[in-house]
């Protein structure tokens, strides 16, 4: 028997979300914008595959379709939360993380 979290697992997004993302990605406005900003055409095929995986799971509830959809959603979460070109992710906290903020500001002003 599957674990309760897997037994009652549902996608985070409705299948229409993936379909809308694919539609937006293939729109002329998005394609022009992406080419203008990045110098290349957007890759939209993955959104279509994601929609097909979601639709397959909603229709059949098969374990294979479910696992594919879990991979899809994990990939999207990784991209959403862990890819940030502006701020590097910390591995450890700062050395003086425990100091009150006013002591930290005084320490920085003194140096």
Work out the average pLDDT over 55-80.
82
Mean pLDDT of the chain: 80
Alpha-carbon gap, residue 82 to 72, rounded angstroms: 15
User: Any idea which residue has 């590097």 for tokens?
Assistant: 88
Whether residue 65 lies inside any domain: the answer is: yes
CB contact burial 3-28 (16+ within 10 A = b; e otherwise): eeeeeeeebebebebbbebbeebeee
Work out the average pLDDT over 51-57.
88
For residue 26, the enclosing domain spans 12-81
Alpha-carbon gap, residue 2 to 57, rounded angstroms: 17
- DSSP three-state, residue 12: coil
Whether residue 3 lies inside any domain: the answer is: no
Structural domain total, the chain: 1
Query: Residue 5: which pLDDT band, with cuts at 50, 70 and 90?
Result: very low
Q: Cβ(51)–Cβ(18) under 8 Å?
A: yes
Whether residue 19 lies inside any domain: the answer is: yes
Whether residue 99 lies inside any domain: the answer is: no
Whether residue 95 lies inside any domain: the answer is: no
With a pLDDT cut of 70, the percent of the chain lying above it is: 83
66: closest CA among 18, 19, 11, 107? Answer: 11
């Amino acid at each position: 028997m599957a674990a309760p979290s897997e037994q009652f697992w549902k996608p985070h997004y409705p299948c229409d979300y993936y379909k809308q993302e694919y539609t937006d990605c293939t729109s002329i406005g998005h394609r022009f914008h992406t080419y203008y900003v990045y110098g290349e055409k957007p890759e939209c095929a993955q959104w279509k595959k994601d929609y097909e995986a979601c639709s397959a799971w909603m229709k059949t509830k098969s374990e294979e379709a479910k696992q594919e959809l879990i991979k899809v959603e994990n990939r999207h979460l990784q991209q959403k939360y862990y890819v940030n070109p502006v701020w590097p992710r910390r591995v450890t906290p700062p050395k003086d993380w425990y100091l009150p903020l006013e002591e930290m500001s005084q320490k920085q002003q003194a140096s």
